[in-house]
Amino acid sequence: MDKMEQVETIGATASKEYSLRKTLERMVGEWEGVEFKCIAYKDSGTFILGGTDEVQAILDDQIVKAQGMCASPFVKPFEEEAKNWSATLNTLQDMLDNWLKCQSTWLYLEPIFSSEDIVKQMPEEGEKFRQVDAEWRDIMTSTVEEPDVITIGRDKARLDRLEECNVLLDAIQKGLSAYLEKKRLFFPRFFFLSNDEMLEILSETKDPTRVQPHLKKCFEGVAKLRFEDNYDISAMESEESEVVPFTQPISVSAAKGAVEKWLLQVEAAMFDSIHHITGQGLACYESKPRDEWVLDWPGMVVLVCTAVFWTKGVADAISTGSTKRYEEKCTADLMRIVDRVRGDLTSLQRKTLGALVVMDVHARDVVQNLATKAVTSPTDFEWQGQ
């Protein structure tokens, strides 16, 4: 009986060992004909990995099976073989993770460091990327020549190369982030732009017009800058084609490719020009009827100058006790603007006058309220609260 039990035990053990071996053989056989797909990447002269879903699905399944197999008490006769296979699968998984990470980062950085301007501004990162690029091209060339997944999975040297590439790529990205942060600190309006938008501008410093699509994010209300043939900037323009000339043109060439420097000058020129043209508008405000004056100036100048003269007029009316008479003047001014709106205007003029009508209605209502409440002091809360 004891011998019978021994025979049964030996038979059961042999059966389970045979089953495990067959499972291992099936696992190895499942990889036959499985290859990495390589796709030519644009006009770069190199390749990238295609879909890896099939490889990943087999890996996920077999890594779990291999772990269970190595933990089985019946694996002894071929334990070394099973452990080697498990190690190959783990190496392949590590390689695939590093490969896809490297590919993703390389795809992001490749167009950036294809720009001579970026390489000149970031020589250290440019050299690191050159090293990664050379490694990537060599790895992909060898993959095209030998795409068999398991053959590649046993190549630990390739895993080491990919890991080294990822270390370099991480350093490049940190350097890139520091570079962009430096630009943003110099010209804070760059914080309104994404990294990709900034890089699009900085990668073509020889063409300052590349900043045009991103101006609206940096300067609200500014659609574009007016560049002369020599790339000097002479004016800013709104989406409605309203043009405000700069008091002094901005020389882009003097910044020697530093976009953030000439944009900072543009910002200062905007303040100076608006201040200057508003001063001119104020000086000319009483030189002709207001409904004619409004057509000669940019919309914002019209609104600011109107607010300035209205504030002065109300203060004078309160001091002289003539708020009722000033209310009548405000109503008359409003009606003249309304009559002008009914006339023949450009779309830009109509938009300016539309905003002015809203402003005038509010101004009249405020004066009407002051007159009704008989406000006689400029320090009265009814006036100070406006």
Q: What is the mean pLDDT of the chain?
A: 88
pLDDT tens track for 155-203: 899 999 999 999 999 999 999 999 999 999 999 999 999 999 999 888 8
Query: Domain 2-184, CATH 1.20.140.100 — does that match?
Result: yes
Distance CA(303)–CA(143), nearest Å, equals 67
- Any idea which of 11-15, 112-116, 241-245, 350-354 has the lowest mean pLDDT? 11-15
- pLDDT > 90 in the chain, percent: 59
Whether 284 and 293 have beta carbons less than 8 Å apart is answered as yes
Distance CA(39)–CA(51), nearest Å, equals 10
Q: Encoding tokens for residue 67? A: 């772990």
Distance CA(178)–CA(198), nearest Å, equals 13
pLDDT tens track for 19-42: 667 777 787 778 888 889 999 998
Q: Of 86-95, 165-174, 364-373, 377-386, which has the strongest mean pLDDT? A: 165-174
pLDDT tens track for 253-287: 888 888 999 999 999 999 999 999 999 999 999 89
Whether 327 and 371 have beta carbons less than 8 Å apart is answered as yes
Distance CA(352)–CA(341), nearest Å, equals 10
Whether 218 and 189 have beta carbons less than 8 Å apart is answered as yes
- Any idea which of 3-17, 320-334, 348-362 has the lowest mean pLDDT? 3-17
Where does the chain have alpha helices with state H?
Answer: 2-30, 53-71, 79-109, 116-121, 123-145, 149-153, 156-186, 195-202, 215-218, 259-284, 290-293, 299-320, 323-341, 347-372, 381-384
pLDDT at 384: 85
Whether 360 and 294 have beta carbons less than 8 Å apart is answered as no
Quick one: CATH architecture of 290-384? Answer: Up-down Bundle (1.20)
At 190, which amino acid appears? F
Count of CB atoms within 10 A of residue 252's CB? 27
pLDDT tens track for 105-127: 999 999 999 888 889 889 999 99
Distance CA(142)–CA(146), nearest Å, equals 6
CA-wise closest residue to 338 among 350, 325, 324: 350
Whether 150 and 92 have beta carbons less than 8 Å apart is answered as yes
pLDDT at 219: 94
Q: Which residues pair with 323 in a beta bridge?
A: none
Radius of gyration of the chain (CA): 37
Q: What value, to the nearest 5°, has the Cα angle with vertex 226 and ends 198 and 236?
A: 85
Q: Encoding tokens for residue 142? A: 């060898």
Q: How confident is the model at residue 73 (pLDDT cuts 50, 70, 90)?
A: low
Q: Report the half-sphere exposure of 308 (CA within 13 A, side-chain side).
A: 13
Residue 80 clears pLDDT 70, i.e. is over it: yes
Q: Which residues pair with 341 in a beta bridge?
A: none
Distance CA(185)–CA(372), nearest Å, equals 53
Distance CA(249)–CA(273), nearest Å, equals 11
Tell the residue number behind the tokens 């004909």, with chain if given.
33
Residue spans per domain, the chain = 2-184, 187-284, 290-384
Residue 14 clears pLDDT 90, i.e. is over it: no
Distance of CA 334 to the CA centre of its chain: 45
The top-level CATH class assigned to 187-284 is alpha beta
Distance CA(311)–CA(308), nearest Å, equals 5
